[in-house]
Amino acid sequence: MHSGLLLLTAVSLLYIAKTHSSLFAATGFAIIGYVAIDWLIPRVGPSFIKIGLFGKDLSKPKKPVLPESIGAVCATIYLFVTLFYIPFIFYRYIVNPNEELDSSKNNEFGWFPHKKLSEYLSAIMCLESTVLLGIADDLFDLRWRHKFFLPAIAVIPLLVVYYVDFGVTYVLVPGFMKNWIGRTSIDLGIVYYMYMAAMGIFCPNSINILAGVNGLEVGQSLVLAILALLNDALYLTMGSESSKESHGFSALLIIPFFGVSLGLFKWNKWPAKVFVGDTYCYFAGMVFAVVGILGHFSKTMLLFFIPQILNFIYSCPQLFNIVPCPRHRLPKFNEKDGLLYPSRADLVEQPPKKFFIPVLKFLHFFKLIDLEYDSKGNLISCTNMTLITLTLVWFGPMREDKLCNRILLIQFIIGLVTIFLRHALGAALFGYDNLQISVFN
């Protein structure tokens, strides 16, 4: 399956490079990033263990000790790559400063695209702040209530740039609601900024929640990157001029991200040699939030997070203690057959809230949870409410790598369907799609 995904990415990259030759640099830096990560990880791993950054892999026969927080290396390399990148991205403006002055539509900004540079810098800065936060979390195990909202601070420079550069805060009203509301768009004003800050909080945390199986954190980020690049490729080949610009920007940031993440995946996939830590999850989530916000397609980007959103909603009964939540909800490893089994929450010691029992039975009826009864028909346990456990409930016990691949496959299929529906239904709902020549209608 992995090689298929890689092939698909390669095709997307070729598509992108064909239309935006400047993105060749991005691909080059992605390869450099991959090589650097692959070279560094085995060399820095022991130092991480030495300073206490390590964890036990509980789903392996001998519970080996692995270096933890290696995602910080990956994120740092990404940041260095994107710094080295700057002269290449703005190369044509530097070498040929009058190019833009000649083109009438751009010369309002003088000969250098400061607007673009601010955008780019605010994106990298937001990511750097996120990495700092992630490192603090990996080192000090911050409390949940502290760390949950901190990414919102990292998003501030981004929101400022959005405000001064675009200030677009209206959303289109779907066709069937137009008559009811009486207009074609609604200006959300400050609510739109709160929505963007919320996105900066949601994306990092949502990747952090869908975790616990070797390779899953990085794998889901790779799938997200592929989906975003596919979407970018669609726009870069068929989109309007302005959408080409923002999706070019998106590809600029995501291509090197794909490179460094692939390097990390090599070491984090089953059987993992390293753990990625919170730093990577925050960093990866923020890459997509940043790209979505600055590329003006935060709503489409959020569609790619449907599996993470579903995982979050599905987890809510346990997160809010309506159903008891064990400290770890990882799948249970069975040493005898080497397979992972769904882990369960004990409902005898700490019964669920009464009003929720019918909901549990309802979920059970639709195979969205597995319930266990004793001989008298009393509820004694339920499977933990995570997408990982649900996959095991649906497809039966399996080895860790199979489980990870299955979840990634589900995520990828949902994403493909989303891209299709986004453009097919988007056109139907809003009367037009921002792809100039829509392939779907």
- The least distance separating its own copies from the CB of residue 73, rounded to whole angstroms, comes to 9
Give, in order, the Cα–Cα distances in Å from 169 to each of 162, 184, 190, 290, 296: 10, 14, 8, 16, 10
- The least distance separating its own copies from the CB of residue 50, rounded to whole angstroms, comes to 8
Q: What is the CA radius of gyration of the chain?
A: 23
Question: Does residue 300 touch its own copies according to CB under 8 A?
Answer: no
- The least distance separating its own copies from the CB of residue 225, rounded to whole angstroms, comes to 23
Question: Does residue 140 touch its own copies according to CB under 8 A?
Answer: yes
Question: Does residue 370 touch its own copies according to CB under 8 A?
Answer: no
Question: Does residue 109 touch its own copies according to CB under 8 A?
Answer: yes
Nearest to 348 by CA among 318, 317, 323: 323
**CA dist., res. 121 & res. 158, Å (int):** 9
Nearer to its own copies, 110 or 189 (CB): 110
Q: Are strands 371-373 and 379-383 parallel, antiparallel or unpaired?
A: antiparallel
- The least distance separating its own copies from the CB of residue 63, rounded to whole angstroms, comes to 23
**CA dist., res. 16 & res. 2, Å (int):** 21
**CA dist., res. 210 & res. 312, Å (int):** 8
- The least distance separating its own copies from the CB of residue 364, rounded to whole angstroms, comes to 43
- Token digits for 26? 């991005």
Task: Select from 8, 31, 156, 330 the one that contacts its own copies (CB under 8 A).
Answer: 156
Q: Which stretch binds its own copies (CB under 8 A): 87-95, 353-361, 382-390, 425-433?
A: 87-95
Q: Which stretch binds its own copies (CB under 8 A): 75-83, 261-269, 335-343, 428-436?
A: 75-83
- Token digits for 273? 């040699």
- The least distance separating its own copies from the CB of residue 290, rounded to whole angstroms, comes to 13
Nearer to its own copies, 106 or 237 (CB): 106
**CA dist., res. 105 & res. 146, Å (int):** 46
- The least distance separating its own copies from the CB of residue 257, rounded to whole angstroms, comes to 17
Phi, psi dihedral angles at 395 (to 5 degrees): -105, 5
- Cβ burial, residue 414 (10 Å; 0-12/13-18/19+): middle
Task: Select from 7, 35, 65, 94 the one that contacts its own copies (CB under 8 A).
Answer: 94
Task: Select from 4, 47, 421, 431 the one that contacts its own copies (CB under 8 A).
Answer: 47
Task: Select from 5, 6, 49, 153 the one that contacts its own copies (CB under 8 A).
Answer: 153
Give, in order, the Cα–Cα distances in Å from 220 to each of 60, 70, 262, 307, 411: 22, 17, 11, 10, 8
Residues that bind its own copies (CB under 8 A): 44, 47, 51-52, 76, 79-80, 83-84, 86-87, 90, 93-94, 108-110, 112, 114-115, 117-118, 121-122, 124-125, 128-129, 131-132, 135-136, 139-140, 153-154, 156-157, 160-161, 163-165
